[in-house]
């Protein structure tokens, strides 16, 4: 069985001949949205008479919900440059609305952007910054890890993290192309590296403020899947794609507020961690796509993870639930990292839970001090 898709074997130079044709004043606009029943990404493209300059220029569209005759509306959220069709063409991240224009709620309540945005508005004076470290694994279309021997296994872990060399870094072309595509699109991508398991990679998005974190990570995921499509392989966000002595895939979240970034901000970092310790089970339930079930396979206390059953925190401890990086402990300010979210988490749900647990109380205290010190 072939490990790459048939479409990847098509002549890409012939394809480029058509993509380079002039298109006049017309603009191709690709709508991207989350299929709320499974957290898959979907897209479709339309022609506009001219290049949209702001998000308000993008008309609403509709689509038929999978498995039913129900039509939903696509309301534009934010606009990016299109790295596949190039300027002036656009990618538009959309929110799904019901015909009544209310936010659509799907199976398992997987449409979290609307509620997340409301919480972000409540804490905007705290200027919450987030960064998320998205790990993913490359597979052939047959489901076998890309670059792994057809029979047996590659050499054990220890060689692959941030590695260089044909016998260690499998799929660098994909990671590099995805990085450039994100930069072209205008996504706030911070970097990339090879991960501990062969064929596993990571990219970082952020710092992003408020709701922007979820928007940029979802579009970065879309670009990843599209780049992989061109190469004929599959990117999976499964938190534990290979059983045995192999690392899982997470989506660690870094959290910072204006108070944490100021001198002495370690006080607010420690307060936030203390609050997280009291709501461990609740956070585990929202840290993967299936209510904590996927993370059970990953958060074992091994392979640079904490146990799913217990909360822990420490300085420079990559085996803790929450880590205070060494340089943060030395500076006594900036941010902390929650290492529990799984690779397939919904960033809207994760950042929303973080705000509710760690920041709302500080926002109320900030308002009280402002009102009483006028």
- In this structure, which topology does domain 120-372 adopt according to CATH? Creatine Kinase; Chain A, domain 2 (3.30.590)
Are residues 148 and 139 in contact, defined by beta-carbon separation less than 8 angstroms? no
Q: Which residue matches tokens 């010190």?
A: 373
Residue 161: how many other CB atoms lie within 10 Å: 17
- pLDDT value of position 370: 45
Distance CA 20, CA 14 (A): 10
Residue 77: C-alpha distances to residues 58, 66, 204, 248 (Å): 10, 22, 21, 32
- pLDDT value of position 362: 67
- pLDDT value of position 250: 97
Q: Is the dihedral of CA 159, 161, 163, 168 positive or negative?
A: positive
Q: Name the stretches of the chain with pLDDT < 50.
A: 1, 107-109, 368, 370, 372, 374
Residue spans per domain, the chain: 23-110, 120-372
- pLDDT value of position 68: 62
For 32-47, how does the pLDDT look when each residue is reduced to its tens digit (9 = 90+)? 999 866 678 999 999 9
- pLDDT value of position 373: 52
**C-alpha triplet 192, 216, 223: angle, nearest 5°:** 65
The CATH code that applies to domain 23-110 is: 3.10.20.70
Distance CA 322, CA 315 (A): 9
pTM for the model stands at 0.94
- For β-strands 71-81 and 61-64, DSSP reports them as antiparallel
Same fold, 23-110 and 120-372: no
User: Encoding tokens for residue 216?
Assistant: 């940029």
């Amino acid at each position: 069985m072939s490990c790459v898709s048939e479409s990847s074997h098509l002549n890409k130079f012939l394809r480029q001949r058509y993509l380079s044709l002039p298109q006049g004043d017309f603009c191709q606009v690709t709508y991207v949205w989350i299929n709320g029943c499974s957290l898959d990404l979907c897209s479709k493209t339309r022609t506009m008479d001219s290049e949209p300059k702001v998000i308000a220029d993008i008309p609403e569209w509709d689509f038929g919900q999978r498995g039913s005759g129900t039509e939903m509306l696509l309301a534009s959220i934010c606009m990016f440059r299109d790295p596949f069709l190039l300027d002036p063409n656009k990618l538009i991240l959309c929110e799904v609305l019901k015909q009544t224009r209310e936010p659509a709620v799907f199976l398992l309540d997987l449409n979290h952007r609307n509620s997340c945005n409301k919480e972000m508005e409540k804490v905007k004076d705290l200027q919450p910054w987030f960064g998320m470290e998205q790990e993913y694994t490359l597979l052939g279309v047959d489901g076998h890890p890309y670059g792994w021997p057809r029979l047996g296994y590659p050499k054990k872990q220890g060689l692959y993290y941030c590695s260089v060399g044909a016998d260690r870094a499998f799929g660098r072309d994909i990671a590099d192309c995805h990085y450039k595509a994100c930069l072209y699109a205008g996504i706030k991508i911070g970097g990339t590296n090879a991960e501990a398991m062969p064929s596993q990679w990571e990219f970082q998005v952020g710092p992003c403020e408020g709701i922007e974190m979820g928007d940029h990570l979802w579009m970065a995921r879309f670009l990843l899947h599209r780049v992989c499509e061109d190469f004929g392989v599959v990117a999976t966000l499964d938190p534990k794609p290979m059983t045995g002595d192999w690392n899982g895939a997470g989506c660690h979240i870094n959290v910072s507020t204006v108070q944490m970034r100021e001198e002495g901000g370690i006080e607010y970092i420690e307060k936030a961690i203390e609050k997280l310790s009291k709501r461990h089970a609740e956070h585990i339930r929202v840290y993967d796509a299936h209510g904590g079930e996927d993370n059970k396979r990953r958060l074992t206390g091994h392979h640079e993870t904490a146990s799913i059953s217990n909360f822990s925190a420490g300085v420079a401890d990559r085996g803790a639930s929450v880590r205070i990086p060494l340089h943060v402990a030395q500076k006594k300010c900036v941010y902390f990292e929650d290492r529990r979210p799984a690779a397939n988490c919904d960033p809207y749900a994760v950042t929303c839970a973080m705000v509710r647990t760690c920041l709302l109380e500080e926002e109320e205290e900030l308002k009280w001090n402002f009102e009483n010190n006028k």
